[in-house]
Structure 1
Amino acid sequence: MLWLVRTSEEQLFGTTHIYRIIVDAAEESIWIADKDDNVTFVNKKLVDTLEYPPDEIIGKKIFDFTDEKNRAVMKESIERSRKGERDTYVFSIRNKSGKFILHLVATTPMQDEKGHYIGTVQLCSDMSVQKKIEDELREARAKSDLYLDLLSHDVRNVHQIVIGYLEMVINKLDSGECLTKADREFIEKPLNALNSSTELIDTLNNLQKIKSARLPMEKIDLGEVVTSVVNSFSEVPGRAINIHYAPHKDCWIESNYLLKDVFINLIGNAIKHSNGPLDIYIRINEVTIDGIRYYSVTVEDNGLGIPDTLKSKLFSQPLCEKRNTQCKGLGLCLVKALVDRFNGKIQVEDRVQGDYTKGVKFTVLLPAIK
């Protein structure tokens, strides 16, 4: 029986055709060079990587497909192969398009029956995917550290506000005084601060959901969402806020329950970062851009506006003017992440073109569906 198994293996693997199938199925790029460093064999993966046909690779020097710096690294490894040593090194292959692709290379020297060097076999593993993953992990870690820093920074500020007002209440009670209606702010101020802290935590949680999970999409009426958000801002204690909006219906898009956070943040920011009376204008229109039908939602106000120097960075990172000030842009990071998730676009401009002090205008474009 053992003899039969051995015979079958010899019949299977003793053919060039079968070996070629196995080598071409490899995920690694494989090439062989003779003792004069001329390429004598390449597998399909390497042909695909280099983007040259095999006849433009075979016969060339193995180190022709890179630059001087990487060529020196490869030549050093080949010298070790001549001494019968295996080696592992990192170098970049330059393909026909001129792109350099980083590889981890394992070399094995080939020798004849007398032990003389006759060439080298090199297995090349593409490291670009690994590098991309490492870069993404590094970016995710940086964002995680940033969000943790923001959270601890702002929560600490909230705690200081809450502690300060509650200490005032305790001092009044300790002195035998009673709280009056005029002292209501001692309770309202810390309560508002805690609400702001809760909003910050919710924003960070939603950002994490967008980055780490594929949230299910569904058919949603954009008009109803905007109407619901507008109604939630119908009364703002201590402020004269006028929201001008004509309700819409049957504006169907594909999104999910987090859509409302886009408009909560845009309207909420207009109110939080302004003083005194404020007018907010919200409009929904249907537009076609490059043959694609969108619903356009504009949210504009006559508040303080945003300088041109900040507009370009508005959605890329939280805006912290100083280390000891509260960061005000985290909500806009969430807005941008959500709009991207819904395959939409967002832009910001002056409400009155050329004069940012007259207020700001945000435009959100979301693809329409039937």
Structure 2
Amino acid sequence: MLSQMQRWSQLPEKVKYNDIVESVFEIEENIELAKSLGFKVPNKLNLGGIQPFTAKDPFNYMIKQPYCAFVEESKTYRKKTSIESFHNYFSDFNKHMAYVAGGNLEEQMEITDAGEVGQSQRLFNELTLNMRFMKNKLQESNEMLEQRVNERTEDLKESYYKIDFYKDLLAHDMGNILHNIKTSLQLLEMWKDDPTKSDKRAEVIELIKTQVERGSSLITNVRKLSEIEKGEIILKSVDAKKMIETAIEQAQLRFSNKALEIKREMSKETYNAKGAVLLPDAFENILINGILHNGSKKIQLWVNLSKIQENGKSFIKIEFKDNGYGIIDERKKVIFERSYKKDRSTGGMGIGLSLVKKIIEDYDGRVGIEDRVKGDHTKGSNFIILLEEAK
């Protein structure tokens, strides 16, 4: 048995059924169904002058009668949707639904009818619009969630690096310092009753003092590095010359037992730079680096202060030179990189210089290193800091 729609689709082309009503029913059996579908069926049917059919098969009747309709009242007709429109609609609907099922929510149906077909097409379009809106919202939520997960992951990684970093400080740097002190004490114990070792004992005592200073510097720098990461940087105009003098005084006081000479080369003019309260700590760390890593009998440091122009900007240039061991070119590239994520083989010096870099860069400045004597790193180092001049 063919369905009603299939049989309608087989109507000969000569039949004019553009105005055929949405459904044609056997009068006696389908009045209630017509009502349930929303038609207002009058008690007395008027079929537009066409004789009502009584056959069991309305399909044959439709071939003989081009069109028929339920009417609400005389001269008042319900909008008609043609069978052809239904046929085209279902075909078009299936095509669009296939695209939607494939994930294309941009699909929109063309409104081709003023009746129920047109209403269905509008509903389809509204549905795809709503689905697209929900998809976009869901995508935004997913992106936001992914961003938060990534941020949290980075925070966890950073925390892991910090834990590993401080563990390394205890196991490596402080371990080396304590080992050196222990070895020195063992030598003192061995030589305590030997009068010929008095000079050696004095050297060992100086070595112990140096190791204690290294340990003290390490602890201080770790604490300050932690404080820097927590605080908010507010730049202001600072007197660079005054801060250098403060750093020099602290270094001389700390190493008063050493043969230490610090020379200054700076004019009497004012040197105001953009910075903050931790600038003396950066300067002091460079001075301490030049003192601790120095095998000369007389430790010499030079501090030069000047002004330069670079790319149309005025900078305060500060140079810290020493006559220490110096740094080979390969080490110059990574000397400031002692951090949570970098190589941890730099020893105590590395944390001090990474603190310097952190402070200077937070103050929108730059720090670098050269040989004090160009081409000969064994003559010592020259640490150069550039800070923007404050007007």
Matches within 5 A, 1:357-368: 357-368=378-389
Select 2:103's aligned residue among 37, 46, 51.
Answer: 37
- 1:335 to partner: Cα distance: 0.5
RMSD of aligned Cα (Å): 3.8
Q: TM-score, normalised by structure 1?
A: 0.59
Matches within 5 A, 1:141-290: 141-164=160-183, 189-234=207-252, 236-246=256-266, 248=268, 250-276=270-296, 277-290=298-311
| Cα 1:279/1:161, change in 2 over 3 Å | closer
CA shift digits 1:98-134 (9 cap, x unpaired): xxxxxxxxxxxxx99xxxxx97853112124532442
| SS of 2:289 mapped into structure 1 | helix
| SS of 2:304 mapped into structure 1 | strand
Contact kept in structure 2, 1:227 and 1:247, CA below 8 Å = no
Contact kept in structure 2, 1:222 and 1:249, CA below 8 Å = no
Query: Residue in 1 aligned with 2:26?
Result: none
Structure 2 unaligned regions, length at least 5:
1-98, 109-122, 125-129
Residues 304-313 or 345-354, more deviating: 345-354
- 1:163 to partner: Cα distance: 4.5
CA shift digits 1:159-183 (9 cap, x unpaired): 344445556778899x9x9xx9996
Contact kept in structure 1, 2:218 and 2:348, CA below 8 Å = no
Query: Residue in 1 aligned with 2:316?
Result: 295
Mapped to 2, the partners of 1:250 and 1:225 lie a distance apart of 12
Mapped to 1, the partners of 2:370 and 2:280 lie a distance apart of 22
Look up the equivalent residue of 1:211 and give its one-letter code. Answer: E
Mapped to 1, the partners of 2:200 and 2:295 lie a distance apart of 22
- 1:257 to partner: Cα distance: 2.2
| Cα 1:209/1:337, change in 2 over 3 Å | same
- 1:240 to partner: Cα distance: 5.0
| Cα 1:201/1:223, change in 2 over 3 Å | same
What's the % identity of the aligned pairs? 23
Contact kept in structure 2, 1:221 and 1:249, CA below 8 Å = no
| Structure with higher strand content | 1
Look up the equivalent residue of 1:39 and give its one-letter code. Answer: L
Mapped to 1, the partners of 2:258 and 2:323 lie a distance apart of 18
| Cα 1:218/1:207, change in 2 over 3 Å | same
Contact kept in structure 2, 1:37 and 1:119, CA below 8 Å = no
Select 1:139's aligned residue among 158, 164, 168.
Answer: 158
Q: TM-score, normalised by structure 2?
A: 0.56
Mapped to 2, the partners of 1:35 and 1:351 lie a distance apart of 72
Mapped to 1, the partners of 2:325 and 2:389 lie a distance apart of 32
Contact kept in structure 2, 1:217 and 1:254, CA below 8 Å = yes
- 1:266 to partner: Cα distance: 1.2
Query: Residue in 1 aligned with 2:355?
Result: 334
CA shift digits 1:190-228 (9 cap, x unpaired): 444333212111100111111122145443211001122
Q: Which has the higher contact order (CA 8 A, sep 6+)?
A: 2
